[in-house]
Amino acid sequence: MKAHLQQYLTSLALLSEADVHYSLAAFSPISIKKGNFLVRQGEVCDQAAFIVIGGVKSFSSDKTGNENIICFRFENEFTTSFESYFFRRPSPKSIQAIEACVLLRITPARLRNLLERIPAWDIILQELVRQELIAREKYLLAYHNKPAREKYLLSLQQAPDLVRRVRAADLASYLGITERTLTRAKQEAR
Amino acid sequence: MKAHLQQYLTSLALLSEADVHYSLAAFSPISIKKGNFLVRQGEVCDQAAFIVIGGVKSFSSDKTGNENIICFRFENEFTTSFESYFFRRPSPKSIQAIEACVLLRITPARLRNLLERIPAWDIILQELVRQELIAREKYLLAYHNKPAREKYLLSLQQAPDLVRRVRAADLASYLGITERTLTRAKQEAR
DNA sequence: TGCAGTTCAGGACAAATGTCCTTTTTAGTC
DNA sequence: GACTAAAAAGGACATTTGTCCTGAACTGCA
């Protein structure tokens, strides 16, 4: 169950074997169904999760319920509403399972404990934040200010697995276009 | 000249007076004209800068020269091509002065020196990265998947100073629309 | 003050995208 | 295998946005 996380933490080469072991104990496994929420926009996020199986989407939604997806996460990635989790503020976004998921969760309290006992966790978190920033910038630099067809072709090229895996409506939201426009782009690509 | 940076560093409450003093010495003042580049896309960024006076834009540009602006920075903010500066990789974006600027620059080598001598600089950098991530997410959560007029009204409301200060073409690029569309939005807002 | 370069507003038309809806396809369940 | 729900495709039309262009307003500097 925790084998993937164990391997992930080991591969970072920042923790001793004992540290990895101690760290694993701080995570609790949970299975959730497709459609369940890890966090709801406006609520304080009290968990970060390592995804063992499945995938999630992060998004904001307006009063009319339109979803604005800004990121997906899958196996062997962490997911949380970063600001909300660390600063205990209402979350600006929701995180929802787009597939049945198996997660390893950790509460802020347990994470604080890890940080006190194992200083290297500080490095790990720094790196996660950095990667997250780089990912957001990469998205903006590549997709922002591009017409729909180009964005679709780009996603096909840069993230074919994502295109295959998420449903059309979610991919469209991520690309900042409507489902109808995505269909047209697909059709023209044939 | 360095008074603003001194005040900025002091206000963080992370450095002793001596640390602040030592830190200031690592920064070199430079004046640049509107239009000059701090970094060019594709080159390795060898400076981070604290903006004393003026403003800059960060953007990617495609072969046709279209600018895709993803962020602005002004007085009392740091600016750099983060990944390029820290990992010595080609920068995915350019940073260019949109006004005459007075900057305080620091090279990666000098920053490393600061990090060795003053551990609190680690905290400062972490915080800068965090703020950067939060800013990008905030943009995406608020502006992504919104029609042009709404984005313009939102920027008017959330960042009126920015709207006043940057030229229309740059604001349009930042909002992901054309200058013509921005003009229409302005007209309808009257 | 006048001139040149830059920035901004807006007309006319074309193209892209969105809305609303129906049909087809797919996936899951008993 | 049949039934149901979910997802995807696509038609018809409205709206938004973009392109190309011109003229007005503004800015900096001689």
What nucleotides of chain D have any atom within 7 angstroms of a protein Cβ?
7-12, 16-21
Question: What is the C-alpha to C-alpha distance for residues B11 and B103, in angstroms, rounded to an integer?
Answer: 19
At B170 the three-state DSSP class reads helix
Identify whether B114 is part of a domain. yes
Identify whether A82 is part of a domain. yes
At A49 the three-state DSSP class reads strand
Domain count, chain B: 1
Q: What is the mean pLDDT of residues B1-11?
A: 94
Report the gap between the CA of B1 and the closest CA in chain A (Å). Answer: 31
Query: B133–A138: do the CB atoms touch at under 8 Å?
Result: no
B12 falls in which pLDDT band (50, 70, 90)? very high
Range of the domain at A44: 3-120
Identify whether B54 is part of a domain. yes
DSSP annotation string for A81-104: -HHHHHH--B-SSEEEESS-EEEE
Q: For the domain that residue A93 is a member of, what is the CATH number?
A: 2.60.120.10
Identify whether A30 is part of a domain. yes
Lowest mean pLDDT among A31-35, A61-65, B103-107, B167-171: A61-65
pLDDT tens for each residue of B49-72: 999 999 999 999 988 889 999 999
Output DSSP code: residue A44: B
Identify whether B12 is part of a domain. yes
For residue B186, which amino acid is it?
A: K
Say if B66 is an interface residue toward chain A (CB within 8 Å).
Answer: yes
pLDDT tens for each residue of A43-73: 999 999 999 999 999 999 988 889 999 999 9
For residue B175, which amino acid is it?
A: L
pLDDT of the residue at A6: 97
pLDDT at B9 over 90: yes
pLDDT of the residue at B15: 95
pLDDT of the residue at A79: 97
Identify whether A173 is part of a domain. no
Identify whether B180 is part of a domain. no
Identify whether A95 is part of a domain. yes
Query: Is A186 near strand D, with its CB below 7 A from some atom of it?
Result: yes
pLDDT at A149 over 90: yes
Residues of A in contact with B82 (CB under 8 A): 133-134, 137
Q: What is the distance of C-alpha B145 from the center of its chain?
A: 24
Query: B134–A83: do the CB atoms touch at under 8 Å?
Result: yes
Say if A57 is an interface residue toward chain B (CB within 8 Å).
Answer: no
pLDDT of the residue at A85: 95
pTM of structure: 0.94
Output DSSP code: residue B90: B
Residues of A in contact with B140 (CB under 8 A): 68, 70, 136, 139-140
Q: What is the mean pLDDT of residues A100-121?
A: 96
pLDDT at A22 over 90: yes
B156 falls in which pLDDT band (50, 70, 90)? very high
At B126 the three-state DSSP class reads helix
Q: Any idea which nucleotide's C1' is nearest the CA of B178? A: D18
C-alpha dist (Å) from residue A139 to A131, A182, B67: 12, 18, 15
Q: Which residue in A has a C-alpha nearest to residue B173's C-alpha?
A: A145
pLDDT at A25 over 90: yes
